[in-house]
Amino acid sequence: MKDFIHRIWYGDIHPGSEVSANNAEINRLLQYKNRHREKLLSTLNEEQIKILEKYESNEEELYCLAQEDAFTEGIRYAVQFLVEAMG
């Protein structure tokens, strides 16, 4: 268990990405998103493409932070549950 905690702490394990990779619904939606993005890119000029890329970068950062927060909250609730169950 100690090794598992260290691996999560040091970023060797990414629980959120492993769940998403095996989720058929998420994969289907990502395919749709990529298809729509390609269609959109074909209509944009160079300046608009740069703006879109910055927007997507910000969205990705926000998504990663939300995943980290959800994971942290999940761990916090699990520990609280275990403490109360044992007490």
The contacts of residue 49 (CB under 8 Å, 6+ apart) are 41
- Low-confidence residues in the chain, pLDDT < 50: none
pLDDT number for residue 70: 86
Please tell me the pTM assigned to this model: 0.65
pLDDT number for residue 1: 60
Question: pLDDT digits over 57-76, tens only?
Answer: 999 999 888 888 888 888 88
- Domain extents for the chain? 1-43
Query: CA of 15: how far to CAs of 3, 12, 36, 63, 70, in Å?
Result: 15, 10, 28, 14, 11
Taking Cα atoms as reference points, which of 53, 62, 68, 75 lies closest to residue 14? 68
